[in-house]
Amino acid sequence: MIHTIIEKNNYQDSIVLMLLTNHLEEMPGVTSISVMMGTPANKDIFKTGGLYTPELEDATANDMVIVADVENQATIDELVKEAKTYLEEQASKNQSGATQERVKTWDKAYRLGEDASVSILSIPGTHAALEIEKALDAGKHVFCFSDNVSVEDERRLKQQAHQQGLLLMGPDCGTGIINGIPLAFTNAVRKGKIGVIGASGTGIQEVTTIIHRLGEGVTHAIGTGGRDLKEEIGGTTFKDSIALLEQDPEVQVIVAISKPPAKAIRDEVLDLLRASKKPVVSIFLGENPESHEENLFHAHTLEETAKIAVALLRGTNPTLIEEETLAVPSVKLAANQRTIKGYYSGGTLAYEAGMLVKEAFGIQSTTAAEGFILAAEGHEIIDLGDDIYTNGKPHPMIDPTIRKEMLAAAAKDETTAVVLLDVVLGYGAHDDMASELAPMIKQIQAEAVEKGRQIAVVATIVGTDEDPQSIVEQENILKDAGVILCESNAQAVKLALAIVDHPVTEEKKPVHAKAATTVEIPVVSQRLGQLLSADKFINIGLSSFTKAITDYGGKVVQYDWQPVAGGNVELQKAIHYLKKVSLKVEG
């Protein structure tokens, strides 16, 4: 029996609704359920999922819709009651002391946030480009968490930002640190003298948390978005960020992180880094550098990147860093157990794992299915944060469902020897991911033992002792579940490789003279330089993002965004254009 409930003018963020759906699915009497806003795109998803009803035609983009297949009417009444309670609890948790101002209109948000340097965007991707443009027109730097922005819009808006002396971080910018203040899904990292630039996912998180654990800190970690070093975008944000960190007197060492970039853009970025007067560490995942350059060090892994940066900051010789000696446990493997399965919530960590496994087994570059970083010779490395897994579902950093399914599947594959996992802590991440994963880990290990073999589960925790979750408690829960914990993702992958008799070691790299470059790092504008001291923000969308800002002494105006003009993007653009023309005429 399918029922439809439409809550008029009750706009909720998609992440909140995904989590609400998961919560309501557990209720007795619920066969299937989906909770979304009544947008045209979401109505199509209801049709695909077999939950479409005629009543949905009356829903608008600002209406929350619950469609459920339930056993009886009484269950519907309980669902509505439980949904209301859940949303009230979420709102209370997110609002408690986390913001100084809370508004519902764009005009008021920008009036109250007139002195804010940065707008943070976490709204549906179909609306993000227009809101980015509004923020840039208002003279704000932009941190865009939203994804599904077109390449054409990203290129256009990054050029606009560059021309205005502003920085567009993103779209699809998962994490960042500005002036020591953590943004979005980020870890609690002490402020220090190292500046980081990266695509803004778990690559930044892995490097900055290791820097923290080694006793140093980070001034800025600027996310560029995953497509910035693609040919179509041209590295606009990455290049402007290099210039910005070069000018910052607080930054003594620069770190540049990238997943595989377009070669031409990579070369342009390296030329710019060679022009820096500060020590620099670069890592382009997928490459295994054979040498360093004077004052420009080329790392192979994220752990090596962090260790070189700390050594440079302390004035010690990075080439003398000793590789960790791994204690390889005894694992009872059957003759056919030879494959490694990696199920990652972090895309950059998955890239690093895929790179190391390919190198160890001599696997040539292969074209893997969407979402797979590597699928060859039985090995699987999967980025579970890829759009194919998160479309209409929460990210694996906050929802363990997909990884539990993958763990169960790995146990059924008799070739599986080792399973690799990451557990990412920090603001926005799951409150207790270790407890969610532990029962399934125990189950697959017990099933393997019953069949006369073992499966090694090797994991790394990306986090610090200052994160909202207790890293010690997470470690203890995983260890009790039989997980072998490593200090970094690189160590975890190397340990997995050693377990299957394919150990790898890092070769010492010589230091050569820096390659010649005719490029000069441009002096940044006063407006761009203001980003270095930013401590006031406008948060547009997910109110949970305000907590990290206020915890670190920042101030924030919370704009509870919802689509205007019935969610019609073209009409929204027309209204914005007319408003811009009107302001020009008045000016």
Tens digit of each residue's pLDDT (9 = 90 or more) over 195-238: 999 987 899 999 999 999 999 999 999 999 999 999 999 999 99
Please answer whether residues 217 and 242 qualify as being in contact, where contact means their C-beta atoms are separated by less than 8 angstroms: no
In the chain, which stretches have pLDDT less than 50?
A: 96-97
**What is residue 347's three-state secondary structure?**
helix
Q: Torsions phi, psi of 583, nearest 5?
A: -65, -35
Half-sphere exposure of 154 (CA within 13 A, CB side): 29
Q: What distances in angstroms separate CA 178 from CA 51, 194, 200, 530, one per listed residue?
A: 43, 12, 12, 11
pLDDT digits (tens, 9 = 90+) for 333-351: 999 999 999 999 999 999 9
Q: What is the pTM (predicted TM-score) of this model?
A: 0.92
The predicted pLDDT at position 420 comes to 98
Distance, in Å, from the CA atom of 322 to the CA atom of 505, rounded to the nearest integer, reads 11
Q: To 10 degrees, the CA torsion angle through 16, 20, 22, 23?
A: 140
Number of CB atoms found within 10 A of residue 84's CB = 12
Closest CA to 431 of 400, 390, 410, 387: 400
The predicted pLDDT at position 65 comes to 93
Distance, in Å, from the CA atom of 270 to the CA atom of 298, rounded to the nearest integer, reads 10
For residue 186, give the DSSP letter.
Answer: B
CA–CA–CA angle 247, 253, 254 (5° rounding)? 70
Domains for the chain: give ranges and CATH numbers: 2-95 (3.30.70), 100-172+535-561 (3.40.50.720), 175-322+510-524 (3.40.50.261), 339-499 (3.40.50.261)
Q: To 10 degrees, the CA torsion angle through 56, 61, 62, 63?
A: 10
* Residue 485: its H or E element: strand 484-486
Q: Which residues share a beta bridge with 112?
A: none
Distance, in Å, from the CA atom of 65 to the CA atom of 67, rounded to the nearest integer, reads 6
- List Cβ<8 Å contacts ≥24 apart for 520-523: 520/275, 521/242, 521/243, 521/246, 521/272, 521/275, 521/276, 522/243, 523/243, 523/247
The predicted pLDDT at position 243 comes to 98
The predicted pLDDT at position 16 comes to 86
Distance, in Å, from the CA atom of 158 to the CA atom of 152, rounded to the nearest integer, reads 10
DSSP 232-267: TT-SHHHHHHHHHHHH-TT--EEEEEESSPPHHHHH
Distance, in Å, from the CA atom of 388 to the CA atom of 378, rounded to the nearest integer, reads 21
The predicted pLDDT at position 571 comes to 75
Distance, in Å, from the CA atom of 24 to the CA atom of 1, rounded to the nearest integer, reads 16
Q: Which residue has the tokens 């059957």?
A: 334
Distance, in Å, from the CA atom of 569 to the CA atom of 369, rounded to the nearest integer, reads 32
Beta-sheet pairing, 456-462 with 64-70: unpaired
Please answer whether residues 351 and 373 qualify as being in contact, where contact means their C-beta atoms are separated by less than 8 angstroms: yes
